[in-house]
Amino acid sequence: MNSASANKLMIDSLPKIAHHPDKFETLFEAARFRERLLLEISQAKSRIYIVALYLENDEAGRAILDALYQAKQQKTFLDIKVFVDWHRAQRGLIGAGKSDGNAALYCEYAQKYTHQIEVLGVPVRNHEVFGVLHLKGFVIDDTVIYSGASINDVYLAQNERYRYDRYHVINNKALADSMADFIVDTLSNSKAVTCLSQENRPETKTLKPAIRELRAKLQSSSYHFIPQHINDDQIGLTPMLGLGKRKNFLNTQICKLIASAHDELIICTPYFNPPRSITRETKRAIRRGVNVTLIVGDKTANDFYIPPTEAFKSISGLPYLYEMNLRNFAHRNEKSIVAGKLRIHIWKHINNTFHLKGIWVDKTYMLLTGNNLNPRAWKLDLENAILVHDQQKLMKEQTQKEIDHILQHTQLVRSYKEIEQIEHYPPNVKKLLKRIKRLKADHLLNQIL
């Protein structure tokens, strides 16, 4: 048995929840995602758990909060909880002045309504730079709405621009219960998780013992469910968690998934900054004859990109750093690109941004995840995913339609030379990147950004 077959057996042996494909829906646009989220909130009968990196104080964020509070006023029995990153909620945007961040919005809403909802801050580490809540999945009754998107204007296409992500609606009680149980038992019941709707909040330093306890628990946590037999008319769903660089279950399964590819491997990531293990398995896949497709965002479709016509900020150098990574990878694999075994697609659509991640293997497995497949996700942030097992190719048409939709605004790279090099970057960017290289700080930046 070869290595790919052995890894496939391990992937197939993962516990699964049985699911009927007709209750698995792919949404193709951010605006549809926003509309569906609002619809599901308005129709909720028992519970609404929203988990996101942040819920922003802008038009879209307020619309979601309005919907949640209205649902609570009309149906006071609804169990509504919103979980966001503790640190991110209490600061302004990068580059903005000092503020109370989105927590000020949560306090404002708490004072306006009779029946409250819980907006809870989750501190994964003592400082944001060393780890954040990057968990995905909104649980509404028995439905899981899974996307890598957070909640603000651009993610929800509230106005003219959008940040492109993946959006899936899965109606499955066992999956919803499994994810809800983890949210309540591990997050809501932690002493480190604190209400952000109160004006007098504890300082992070007073929470340090509780944060250590929570992190230790998270590192050994998993989604609990009773494994089910998958019939020929069903697909299987495996929800997974991961935190930290040691014994990270999610990281391990992602590597095995890539290593199991026999014929076709498709990887999407917004920031081309893969961990060494991902790069290694991708190269091995190419060597054993797998057709590999990488779909990444153009530097101008990166959320940190600032046009040369606007005031320069150091953070705007990141998209160029990622592009340098991509060019170097393409250069090292130029023969595979020319031979058609490695296809690199770069996504760009007007002034919109790209936040899409996921993996498809042999038209049999599909990974839904918010994991950026970078060192930060690999080592620092709390991540999750849902692995879809489709042995009978029941989702083939829906899956291909999503892939085609993703490729719609991409340009195929035919040689590494087509990717811009540092000599052609704006002077401020060129100066910054050369200084980073000289100080050998690029490795450190790649680990935390």
Residue 160 known to be catalytic? no
Report which of 267, 264, 292, 237 is spatially closest to residue 362, judged by C-alpha positions: 264
Residue 165 known to be catalytic? yes
Catalytic residue of the set 19, 85, 128, 134 = 134
Catalytic residue of the set 56, 142, 165, 402 = 165
Residue 355 known to be catalytic? yes
d(CA 287, CA 265): 13
Instruction: Give me the phi and psi of 357, to 5 degrees please.
Output: -140, 155
- Burial group, residue 249, by CB count within 10 angstroms (0-12, 13-18, 19+): middle
d(CA 168, CA 369): 11
Catalytic residue of the set 19, 87, 355, 389 = 355
85 residue type, one letter: D
**In contact, 383 and 135? CB cutoff 8 Å:** yes
Kindly list the distances between the CA atom of residue 337 and the CA atoms of 9, 20, 303, 319, 438, in Å, as whole numbers in the listed order.
Answer: 30, 38, 28, 23, 30
Continuous segment of H or E residues that includes residue 366:
strand 365-369
**In contact, 41 and 71? CB cutoff 8 Å:** yes
d(CA 329, CA 324): 9
Catalytic residue of the set 85, 383, 390, 402 = 383
Residue 29 known to be catalytic? no
Catalytic site positions: 134, 165, 355, 383
